[in-house]
Amino acid sequence: MAIEIRNVEKTFGAFTALGGVSLDVRSGELLALLGPSGSGKTTLLRIIAGLDHADAGEVSFDGQDTRDRAARDRQVGFVFQHYALFRHMTVFDNVAFGLRVKRKAERPAEMDIRRRVGQLLDMVQLSHLATRYPSQLSGGQRQRVALARALAIEPKVLLLDEPFGALDAKVRKDLRKWLRHLHDDMNITSIFVTHDQEEALELADRVVVMNHGQIIQVGTPTEVYDTPADSFVFDFLGGVNRLNGIVDKGVARLDGHPVRVDGEVGPEGPALIYVRPHQVELGVAPADGVPEGKWSARVSMVHAAGPVARVELDLSGRALEAQLSRDRLSDLALQVGSWCTVDFRHARVFPARA
């Protein structure tokens, strides 16, 4: 099901939680809502589910306005940030709940309910825990019960609020992959909230970046990562070096040397140069001075665990981080205290704020 969100606004007292948000969610896609804490992600999700009402604007499902459709009639599966399981019910009864509260005419026979719940529990790999109570489960297991419960009503839309928020890194990774498969198998439109950029970029078809109740950028993971709309998105999507430079006659300069820039250079004056660590190119410093157009830096730290090495550098008083392969690192024979040349493959320039 496609979801159109038009100019949705929501205020709590004097505070604007959502300031005119518009978004088209395509049928069958897995969309990530990414943003820092308090940016309005949960609020938007709750409005889509009908748990909260927008002050202005509209949300429609497949072209139909949802204003008069209560949460219970929306066929939206909602997985809460803190699971919100029914703690006096077993895992089985939790999952069966949505089927058992259906109107008499639509309610499946008890036998069909058992079969369906059995299938769902198989799918989330919890069949062996069907008679347990939520308090007897681990966090990841509760998470999967919440998911199975939401899926039991065969929703057209699945909304997940920080589905992996409270879990440890390993379980997160597993559940992530698993959710992706599930989404593809079920042919469902899913939106999940996260403030973990890695999760959003890895899992989603498209990523929506939010800040202060506004949508800043919408795009595929590659788009938002490679061409961030502004400095906030650039910053938020993972490690970045921010260097104070200057724009002079249309050329960005760092310590006098020109910087190769993607896109606009922006207005004249002080500027911030953004470079991702893996776009920093290091080279062996020649004995007779530094080549034209390059910077030189001193190595202050080398982290060589894992496939990618991180090198911390001192570039005339500024901290700079570079990422390079382990092979490249050994070619360069970098050590703490040694010198090297620095160049930037890609950089973006944003005006420095006063």
Partner 1 sequence: MTAAVSTGGVKPAKRGRGFLAPTILPGFGTAFGFTLFYLCLIVLIPLGHMVLVSAGVGWTRFWAITLAPRVLHAFYISFGCAFVAALVNAVFGLIVAWVLVRYRFPGRRIIDAMVDLPFALPTSVAGIALTAIYAPNGWVGAFAKAAGFKIAFTPLGIIIALVFVGLPFIVRTVEPVLQDLDAEVEEAAASLGATRWQTFSKVLLPAILPALLTGIALAFARGVGEYGSVIFIAGNIPAVSEIVPLLIVARLEQYDYAGATIIATAMLGLSFLLLLAINFLQRWTRSRHAR
Ligand X SMILES: Nc1ncnc2c1ncn2[C@@H]1O[C@H](COP(=O)(O)OP(=O)(O)OP(=O)(O)O)[C@@H](O)[C@H]1O
Per CB under 6 A, 42 contacts ligand X? yes
Q: Quick one: which of 8, 25, 34, 42 contacts Mg ion (CB under 5 A)?
A: 42
**Cβ distance to ligand X smaller for residue 43 or 94:** 43
Helices 91-100, 139-151: inter-axial angle, 10-degree rounding: 20
Tell which positions 162-221 bind ligand X, by CB under 6 A: 195
Q: Quick one: which of 21, 30, 43, 221 contacts ligand X (CB under 6 A)?
A: 43
97 binds, among ligand X, Mg ion, partner 1, none (CB under 5 to 8 A by kind): partner 1
**Cβ distance to ligand X smaller for residue 15 or 106:** 15
Per CB under 5 A, 323 contacts Mg ion? no
Q: How far is the CB of 254 from Mg ion (least distance, A)?
A: 39
Binding footprint of ligand X, residue count (CB under 6 A): 12
Q: Quick one: which of 35, 98, 155, 221 contacts ligand X (CB under 6 A)?
A: 35
Count the neighbouring beta carbons within 10 Å of the beta carbon of residue 326.
13
**Cβ distance to partner 1 smaller for residue 145 or 329:** 145
Q: Quick one: which of 23, 39, 261, 280 contacts ligand X (CB under 6 A)?
A: 39
For the chain, the three-class secondary structure string (H helix, E strand, C coil) is: CCEEEEEEEEEECCEEEEEEEEEEECCCCEEEEECCCCCCHHHHHHHHHCCCCCCEEEEEECCEECCCCCHHHCCEEEECCCCCCCCCCCHHHHHHHHHHCCCCCCCCCHHHHHHHHHHHHHHCCCHHHCCCCHHHCCHHHHHHHHHHHHHCCCCCEEEEECCCCCCCHHHHHHHHHHHHHHHHHHCCEEEEEECCHHHHHHHCCEEEEEECCEEEEEECHHHHHHCCCCHHHHHHCCCCEEEEEEEECCEEEECCEECCCCCCCCCCEEEEEEECHHHEEEEECCCCCCCCCCEEEEEEEEECCCCEEEEEEEECCEEEEEEEEHHHHHHHCCCCCCEEEEEECCCEEEECCC
Residues 136, 128 contacting (CB under 8 angstroms):
no
- Can you give the binding site for partner 1, defined by CB under 8 A? 49-51, 70-74, 76-78, 80, 82, 84-89, 97-98, 101-102, 133, 135-136, 149-150, 152-153
**Cβ distance to partner 1 smaller for residue 26 or 102:** 102
Q: How far is the CB of 104 from partner 1 (least distance, A)?
A: 12
Q: How far is the CB of 30 from ligand X (least distance, A)?
A: 19
Per CB under 5 A, 39 contacts Mg ion? no
**Cβ distance to ligand X smaller for residue 98 or 163:** 163
Cα distance between residue 298 and residue 257, in whole Å: 18
Q: How far is the CB of 214 from ligand X (least distance, A)?
A: 12
Q: Quick one: which of 8, 25, 32, 41 contacts ligand X (CB under 6 A)?
A: 41
Per CB under 6 A, 12 contacts ligand X? yes
Per CB under 6 A, 341 contacts ligand X? no
Per CB under 6 A, 322 contacts ligand X? no
**Cβ distance to partner 1 smaller for residue 1 or 308:** 1
Per CB under 5 A, 43 contacts Mg ion? no
List residues binding ligand X (CB under 6 A).
Answer: 12, 15, 17, 35, 37-43, 195
